[in-house]
Amino acid sequence: MTSDELHSLIASGLACDHLEVTGDGRHWAAVIVSPAFEGKRLIQRHQLVYATLGARIQTDEVHALSMKTHTPAEWAAQR
């Protein structure tokens, strides 16, 4: 899996205002900004992202994904 492929998977399943994906093919890091995160706890945000990956997590195609998840307002406040 490439970073472009992982980026596409997340973006196709979750409306993102901002999405950065980096990694080495097995271990990944993502910064994800989505209005879908509004009112959600951290674990719920991560579950939304994992849902976009489906079986790729189960089959170890994506071995590890570290996430920073933000709402658009949280992201704007950090900038």
Q: pLDDT tens digit string along 23-60? A: 988 889 999 999 999 999 999 999 999 999 988 888 88
Q: What is the pTM of this model?
A: 0.93
Nearest to 73 by CA among 3, 31, 25, 17: 17
Interatomic CA distance for residues 44 and 42, integer angstroms: 5
What is the extent of the structural domain holding 9? 3-78
What CATH number corresponds to the domain at position 54? 3.30.300.90
pLDDT digits (tens, 9 = 90+) for 4-13: 999 999 999 9
Structural domain total, the chain: 1
